[in-house]
Amino acid sequence: MTTTKSKVLVVGGTGYMGRRIVKASLAAGHPTYVLQRPAPEIGLDIDKLQLLLSFKKQGANLVEGSFSDFRSLVDAIKLVDVVICTMSGTHIRSHNILLQLKLVEAIKEAGNIKRFLPSEFGMDVARMGNALEPGRTTFDDKMKVRKAIEDAKIPFTYVCGMSFAAYQAGNLCQMQTLLPPKDRVLMYGNGDSKVIVMDEDDIATLVGKKLERVSLSKQDFLASIKGMDYANQVGAGHYYAMYYEGCLTNFEIGEEGEEASKLYPEVKCTRMDEFMKIYA
Ligand SMILES: NC(=O)c1ccc[n+]([C@@H]2O[C@H](COP(=O)([O-])OP(=O)(O)OC[C@H]3O[C@@H](n4cnc5c(N)ncnc54)[C@H](OP(=O)(O)O)[C@@H]3O)[C@@H](O)[C@H]2O)c1
């Protein structure tokens, strides 16, 4: 584990991913800065404000800045060595990944940043060229941001977290729900994609009954997407890539990447049966 401390600015710090990054940065002892958007942008969002104040209580520095005020971004960036952006990219809430192009410009202008981690944290978007519409918007937009970063010659790390457990594990990979199924579980094809191990016996033990396994063919899955609204079509495209095409595991990590468990051997993995106990 590295002991070097860097001044870190988290942009998007009150979000789902961002609050975890702020917590981890503080826990690792990095001087941590969080972009606080100005009052009109926070509006009456009391939870956002409370979260920001709780960061401050834990030792973070709140720095006011806005994507509609370029100078404020440059000034905030000048305070730190590393910028981590966790801008919203989730179709379920909002999708603002392209706002990061302004951040890239500001980092370029500031000229002091040693490393930028853009809002990635999902699939390796460079491998998602064949993803279904409209879900591929997420990947295409993240690729535009990558290109801008590389064109500006900003040192970067792309963190590919693959699939978040709370979105994909707790629900046993079922769409349009976050909770574990209680009666039957839909299998994508044979359910043999190497993406996530689905152990229905474990969950069945927890809910006290055996789940019925229902297999959904690729054709039926694709046909079912047509009737969905936009947000669900985006999500379904991601499911298709993961469970029918196995996009999370069907490649080798080349020299340009590093497998995270090798970089952070101190992080202990949670077994699926342990993870599922929270839903019991
Ligand atoms: N692999 C997976 O399964 C998975 C799942 C979910 C997300 N992700 C990825 O993780 C990343 C973060 O997503 P998230 O779900 O954590 O995002 P989120 O909670 O929806 O939003 C993160 C932050 O984006 C900022 N934001 C949103 N709209 C904005 C606007 N108009 N102007 C300025 N700031 C705005 C806000 O920052 P403030 O704190 O300043 O208000 C918000 O807290 C994305 O790249 C997403 O694709 C991956």
CB of residue 241 inside a 6 A radius of ligand 1: no
Q: How far, in Å, are 21, 47, 77, 264 from residue 26 at the CA level? A: 9, 20, 18, 17
3-state secondary structure of 120: coil
- pLDDT value for 209: 67
Instruction: Tell me the pLDDT tens digit for each residue of 257-267.
Output: 888 888 888 87
3-state secondary structure of 196: coil
CB of residue 86 inside a 6 A radius of ligand 1: yes
Which domains are seen in the chain, by residue range?
A: 8-161 (3.40.50.720), 164-280 (3.90.25.10)
Q: How far, in Å, are 16, 59, 218, 262 from residue 236 at the CA level? A: 21, 40, 12, 31
Ligand 1 closest atom vs CA 162: 1
Ligand 1 closest atom vs CA 96: 28
Ranges 108-112, 190-194, 251-255: which has the least confidence: 190-194
Catalytic residues: 142
90 C-alpha to center of ligand 1: Å? 7
Token pair for residue 72? 């404020």
Q: How many residues does the chain have?
A: 280
Q: Is pLDDT at 165 greater than 50 in this prediction?
A: yes
- pLDDT value for 204: 33
CB of residue 124 inside a 6 A radius of ligand 1: no
Query: What's this model's pTM, rounded to 2 decimal places?
Result: 0.87
